[in-house]
């Protein structure tokens, strides 16, 4: 499985709002914890290490 | 001082060389009589190799130190003839529990599969283990030269020369080879100026042996951030004689001398126990840990083993356990080289295989340490996220790392292994340590691993012996022990071929075998080669390769 970066959301705007709403009322530390938990849950859903590694590289790309 | 154990004081004996002129010649000099040096001495004694073993002290380890002996180490100790007293005295365990805050995050069972002689782990104080090894060596007619300290080492093409300091003065040992098993602070390593490369972790741990009548079950308990020791981790583990090992993570800022004082230690233990039950402190130490190793373990005629060659953090019990695998790997090779049965280049395979194992152990140990001691805020955030998810979501338990417990290394790319040409399933690939199984042999029940090792073993899966077995026997002259594996009793005895019954069919299963399958095993019980129905020439080629006689 390779990393799919083509559009794949069935409800993109709803997802984005849900993501932001999930952080409502949280401190910065709590938000960081939520993000970490979310990443781990999604990473397990993907499972495949090559795909995860490609996603990590793509996420890091703009920051170096 | 321990109330449950009185350390033996072994006698110092003036070495005869001091009076007689100052030099003694032997085949192998072993520096260090800790678990690894002693195991090497026993192994060489069993093989009839002449050796001298020296130690700068005159007793066993102070404090419990290495306490967890893994299945593979126990199997090696069995081959050396001292597994039984260690297992009888020790505490067998296989369940580990991990707690986060005040709740159980998850638990694991290390050996859910029956049909192995030895359990996943036996816990025993290092001093008990060392004493058992000293006793075993004595039973074989050998003694350690206590209070003999190696203070100099030099070598040329033929000889390694050790300078030994004793209470009566100095003398020299000339040896074909030196095994440096003098521990993490190896003097041999320093004397040779060898670089000790790796990572020191910025954390301190308090380690305490506590004598008490505990009601904790015989399990490994690991807490992350418990209420009784906020922000840090704690490990509780049972040893023999109602002695418990407790490790408290202290952080880098802790003062080691202050933290060792009973008035600091006792309240920590009291908070952990949460009640007023009586206990006694037997031993306290504060340690930092390191993951380091030598680039190479073989330096001419000086060969490093155990902590002298590689050091890991204690989480995962990969120190002593990998040390036993070092000598297990080394001694048969050394014996063959000393008997001119194999070229000295066979020792290169020790270097490659055990460096490979050290890398694997250091990788696992470093990862566990990064999880236990997160180095950055984000690392801690992810660590705590894993732990908090693990209580409800099974997937996260895979990521919890309180130490990946010692497993033997499979030497996949070893020059001594023959690549599979036939198709096999399962774990018994060339380079893997042989799996145990219940067997029937000599009319009684037994275990496969008690029947192999110390020699090259050829296991031929019956019901009938292949036609070339006679010829193989003639051409090898007893160098390989031949065994026919059968499912049920047979009268088809062949002279010189031992018969082992695979009573539960577990060998067949674990070795993915059918009639005609053949396994060649090394003296350290690792698989060297396997075939579905080999010709004689293939078996002989596999043997030549496994003995390092192939040329590369």
Q: Answer for the pair B139, B82: CB distance below 8 angstroms, yes or no.
A: no
Q: Answer for the pair B434, B428: CB distance below 8 angstroms, yes or no.
A: yes
Best of B101, B394, B395 to substitute, by most chain A Cβ atoms within 10 angstroms, is B395
Structural domain contains residue A19: no
Q: What is the pLDDT of residues B334-386, one digit of tens each?
A: 999 999 999 999 999 999 999 999 999 999 999 999 999 999 999 999 999 99
User: Two tokens at B115?
Assistant: 């049909």
Query: Would you call B348 helix, strand, or coil by DSSP?
Result: helix
Q: Quick one: pLDDT at residue B426?
A: 93
Q: What is the pLDDT of residues B413-426, one digit of tens each?
A: 999 999 999 999 99
The number of CA neighbours under 13 Å toward the Cβ of B119 is: 16
Q: What is the pLDDT of residues B489-537, one digit of tens each?
A: 877 677 889 999 999 999 999 999 999 999 999 999 999 999 999 999 9
At residue B143, what are phi and psi to the nearest 5 degrees?
-125, 150
Q: Give B485's pLDDT tier (boundaries 50, 70, 90).
A: very high
The closest alpha carbon to B82, from B126, B127, B131, belongs to: B131
Domain ranges, residue A43: 26-63
- pLDDT cut 90: percent of chain B above it: 82
Q: What is the ipTM of this complex?
A: 0.97
Give A37→chain B minimum CA distance, Å. Answer: 5
Q: Answer for the pair B369, B422: CB distance below 8 angstroms, yes or no.
A: no
Q: Give B275's pLDDT tier (boundaries 50, 70, 90).
A: confident
Query: Is residue B224 within a helix (H) or strand (E), and if so which, with residue range?
Result: strand B220-224
Any B CB within 8 A of A37 CB: yes
Whole-angstrom distance, CA of residue B533 vs CA of residue B422: 9
Give B385→chain A minimum CA distance, Å. Answer: 5
Structural domain contains residue A49: yes
Q: Quick one: pLDDT at residue B76?
A: 98
Q: Give B64's pLDDT tier (boundaries 50, 70, 90).
A: confident
At residue A24, what are phi and psi to the nearest 5 degrees?
-60, 135
Tell me whether residues B381 and A32 touch, CB distance under 8 A.
Answer: yes
Tell me whether residues B378 and A32 touch, CB distance under 8 A.
Answer: yes
Burial group, residue B458, by CB count within 10 angstroms (0-12, 13-18, 19+): buried
Q: How far apart are the first and last CA of chain B?
A: 55
Tell me whether residues B396 and A33 touch, CB distance under 8 A.
Answer: no
Place of tokens 């990969």: B318
Q: What is the set of domains in chain B, with CATH numbers? A: 16-90+122-195+294-365 (3.50.50.60), 438-546 (3.40.30.10)
Any B CB within 8 A of A30 CB: no
Average pLDDT of chain B? 94
Residue B545 has pLDDT above 60, yes or no: yes
Give B484→chain A minimum CA distance, Å. Answer: 43
User: Which residues of chain B does A36 touch, with a Cβ-Cβ cutoff of 8 Å?
Assistant: 381-382, 384-385
Q: What is the CA radius of gyration of chain A?
A: 13
Tell me whether residues A41 and B386 touch, CB distance under 8 A.
Answer: no
β B103-109/B95-100 pair status: antiparallel
Whole-angstrom distance, CA of residue B66 vs CA of residue B128: 11
Q: What is the pLDDT of residues B302-327, one digit of tens each?
A: 999 999 999 998 888 899 999 999 99
Q: Give B218's pLDDT tier (boundaries 50, 70, 90).
A: confident
Please tell me the least confidently modeled range out of B152-156, B446-450, B473-477. B473-477
Residue B16 has pLDDT above 70, yes or no: yes
Distance of CA B212 to the CA centre of its chain: 29
Cα–Cα distance list, B388 to B47, B286, B458 (Å): 53, 29, 51
Q: Return the residue of A nearest to B389 by Cα.
A: A37
Structural domain contains residue A39: yes
Any B CB within 8 A of A36 CB: yes
Tell me whether residues B396 and A36 touch, CB distance under 8 A.
Answer: no
Best of A31, A34, A36 to substitute, by most chain B Cβ atoms within 10 angstroms, is A36
Residues forming beta bridges with residue B205, ordered by sequence position: B249, B287
Q: Answer for the pair B430, B419: CB distance below 8 angstroms, yes or no.
A: yes
Residue B478 has pLDDT above 80, yes or no: no
Q: Quick one: pLDDT at residue B109?
A: 87
Structural domain contains residue A30: yes
Q: Return the residue of B nearest to A32 by Cα.
A: B381
Whole-angstrom distance, CA of residue B148 vs CA of residue B166: 5
**For the sheet containing B310-311, what is the strand order?**
B197-200, B290-293, B310-311
At residue B527, what are phi and psi to the nearest 5 degrees?
-70, 130
Please tell me the least confidently modeled range out of B30-44, B268-282, B345-359, B431-445. B268-282
User: Which residues of chain B does A29 touch, with a Cβ-Cβ cutoff of 8 Å?
Assistant: 381
Q: Which of A29, A32, A37 sits opposite B389 (nearest CB)?
A: A37
Q: Which of B382, B393, B395 sits opposite A36 (nearest CB)?
A: B382
**Taking the model in full, what pTM does it have?**
0.95
Average pLDDT rounded to a whole number, residues B43-59: 97
Q: Give B1's pLDDT tier (boundaries 50, 70, 90).
A: low
Contacts of residue B346, Cβ cutoff 8 Å, sequence gap at least 6 = B333, B336, B337, B547, B548
Burial group, residue B514, by CB count within 10 angstroms (0-12, 13-18, 19+): exposed
| Rounded (10°) angle between helices B126-139 and B35-46 | 20
Any B CB within 8 A of A20 CB: no
Tell me whether residues A37 and B385 touch, CB distance under 8 A.
Answer: yes
Q: Quick one: pLDDT at residue A13?
A: 98
User: Which residues of chain A does B392 touch, with a Cβ-Cβ cutoff of 8 Å?
Assistant: none
Q: Give B59's pLDDT tier (boundaries 50, 70, 90).
A: very high
Any B CB within 8 A of A44 CB: yes
Q: Quick one: pLDDT at residue B473?
A: 87
Whole-angstrom distance, CA of residue B333 vs CA of residue B522: 10
Tell me whether residues A40 and B389 touch, CB distance under 8 A.
Answer: yes
Q: Which of B385, B393, B395 sits opposite A36 (nearest CB)?
A: B385
Q: What is the pLDDT of residues A4-42, one digit of tens each?
A: 999 999 999 999 999 999 999 999 999 999 999 999 999
Query: For B154-171, b where at least 16 C-beta lie within 10 A, e where not — what string?
Result: ebeeeebbbebbbeeebb
User: Two tokens at B12?
Assistant: 């110092």
Residue A64 has pLDDT above 90, yes or no: no
Query: Would you call A15 helix, strand, or coil by DSSP?
Result: helix
Structural domain contains residue A5: no
- pLDDT cut 70: percent of chain B above it: 99
Query: Is residue B96 within a helix (H) or strand (E), and if so which, with residue range?
Result: strand B95-100
Q: What is the 3-state secondary structure (H, E, C) of B152-194?
A: EEEECCCCEEEEEEECCEEEEEEEEEEEECCCCCCHHHHHCCC
Structural domain contains residue A50: yes
Q: Give A1's pLDDT tier (boundaries 50, 70, 90).
A: low
Q: What stretches of B414-522 adopt beta strand conformation (E)?
A: 438-441, 444-447, 456-461, 480-486, 497-501, 518-521
Query: Would you call A28 helix, strand, or coil by DSSP?
Result: helix
Structural domains counted in chain A:
1
Q: Answer for the pair B460, B469: CB distance below 8 angstroms, yes or no.
A: yes
Q: Answer for the pair B466, B516: CB distance below 8 angstroms, yes or no.
A: yes
Q: Quick one: pLDDT at residue B139?
A: 98
Query: Would you call A12 helix, strand, or coil by DSSP?
Result: helix
Any B CB within 8 A of A19 CB: no
Q: Give B22's pLDDT tier (boundaries 50, 70, 90).
A: confident
Q: Quick one: pLDDT at residue B11?
A: 96
Q: What is the pLDDT of residues B133-173, one digit of tens each?
A: 999 999 999 999 999 999 999 999 999 999 999 999 999 99
The closest alpha carbon to B178, from B295, B26, B402, belongs to: B26
Structural domain contains residue A9: no
Q: Quick one: pLDDT at residue B5?
A: 92
Q: Quick one: pLDDT at residue B315?
A: 85
Using a CB–CB cut-off of 8 Å, the residues of B that contact A are 378, 381-382, 384-386, 388-389, 393, 395-396, 399
Structural domain contains residue A36: yes
Cα–Cα distance list, B532 to B269, B431, B518 (Å): 58, 17, 6
Burial group, residue B310, by CB count within 10 angstroms (0-12, 13-18, 19+): buried
Q: Give B467's pLDDT tier (boundaries 50, 70, 90).
A: confident
Q: Which 8-state DSSP code applies to residue B305?
A: -
At residue B103, what are phi and psi to the nearest 5 degrees?
-120, 150
Residue B215 has pLDDT above 80, yes or no: no
Q: Which 8-state DSSP code applies to residue B109?
A: E
Q: To the nearest 10°, report the CA torsion of B58, B62, B68, B73.
A: -10
């Amino acid at each position: 499985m390779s990393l799919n970066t083509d559009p794949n959301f069935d409800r993109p705007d709803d997802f984005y709002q849900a993501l932001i709403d999930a952080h409502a009322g949280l401190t910065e530390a709590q938000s960081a914890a939520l993000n970490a938990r979310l990443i781990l849950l999604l990473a397990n859903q993907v499972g495949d290490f090559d795909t995860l590694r490609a996603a990590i590289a793509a996420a890091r790309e703009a920051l170096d | 001082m321990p109330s449950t154990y009185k350390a033996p004081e072994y006698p110092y004996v003036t070495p005869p060389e001091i009076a007689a002129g100052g030099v003694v010649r032997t085949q192998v000099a072993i520096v260090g009589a800790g678990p690894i040096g002693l195991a090497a001495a026993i192994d060489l004694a069993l093989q009839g190799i002449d050796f001298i073993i020296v130690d700068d002290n005159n007793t066993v380890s102070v404090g419990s130190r290495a306490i967890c002996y893994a299945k593979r180490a126990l199997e090696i100790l069995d081959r050396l003839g001292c597994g039984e007293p260690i297992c009888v005295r020790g505490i067998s365990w296989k369940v580990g529990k991990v707690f986060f805050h005040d709740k159980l995050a998850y638990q694991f069972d290390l050996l859910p599969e029956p049909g192995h002689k030895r359990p996943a782990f036996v816990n025993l104080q290092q001093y008990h283990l060392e004493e058992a090894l000293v006793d075993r060596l004595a039973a074989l007619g050998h003694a350690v030269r206590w209070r003999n300290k190696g203070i100099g080492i030099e070598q040329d093409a033929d000889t390694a020369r050790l300078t030994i300091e004793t209470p009566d003065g100095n003398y020299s040992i000339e040896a074909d080879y030196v095994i440096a098993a003098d521990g993490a602070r190896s003097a041999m390593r320093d004397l040779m100026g060898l670089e000790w490369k790796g990572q020191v972790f910025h954390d301190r741990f308090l380690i305490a042996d506590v004598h008490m009548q505990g009601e904790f079950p015989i399990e490994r308990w690991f807490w992350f951030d418990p209420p009784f020791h906020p922000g840090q981790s704690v490990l509780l583990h049972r040893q023999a004689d109602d002695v418990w090992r407790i490790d408290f993570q202290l952080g880098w800022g802790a003062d080691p001398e202050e933290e060792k004082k009973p008035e600091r230690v006792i309240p920590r233990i009291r908070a952990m126990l949460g009640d007023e039950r009586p206990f006694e402190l037997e031993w306290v130490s504060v340690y930092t840990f390191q993951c380091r190793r030598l680039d190479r373990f073989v330096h001419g005629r000086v060969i490093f083993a155990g902590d002298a060659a590689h050091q890991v953090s204690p989480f995962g019990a990969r120190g002593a356990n990998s040390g036993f695998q070092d000598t297990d790997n080394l001694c048969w090779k050394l014996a063959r080289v000393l008997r001119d049965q194999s070229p000295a280049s066979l020792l290169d395979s020790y270097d490659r295989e055990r460096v490979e194992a050290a890398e694997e152990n250091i990788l696992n140990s470093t990862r566990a340490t990064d999880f236990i001691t997160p180095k950055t805020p984000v690392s801690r955030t992810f660590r705590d996220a894993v732990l908090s998810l693990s209580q409800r979501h099974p997937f996260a338990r895979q990521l919890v790392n309180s130490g990946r417990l010692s497993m033997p290394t499979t030497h996949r790319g070893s020059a001594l292994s023959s690549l599979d040409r036939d198709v096999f399933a399962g774990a018994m690939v060339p380079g893997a340590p042989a799996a145990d199984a219940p067997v029937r042999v000599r009319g009684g029940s037994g275990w496969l691993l008690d029947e192999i090792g110390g020699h090259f073993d050829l296991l031929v899966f019956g019901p009938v012996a292949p036609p070339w077995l006679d010829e193989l026997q003639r051409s090898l002259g007893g160098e390989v022990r031949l065994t026919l594996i059968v499912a049920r009793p047979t009268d088809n005895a062949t002279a010189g071929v031992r018969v082992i019954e695979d009573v539960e069919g577990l060998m067949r299963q674990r070795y993915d075998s059918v009639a005609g399958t053949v396994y060649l095993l090394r003296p350290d019980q690792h698989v060297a080669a396997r075939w579905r129905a080999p010709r004689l020439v293939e078996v002989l080629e596999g043997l030549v390769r496994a003995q390092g006689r192939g040329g590369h």
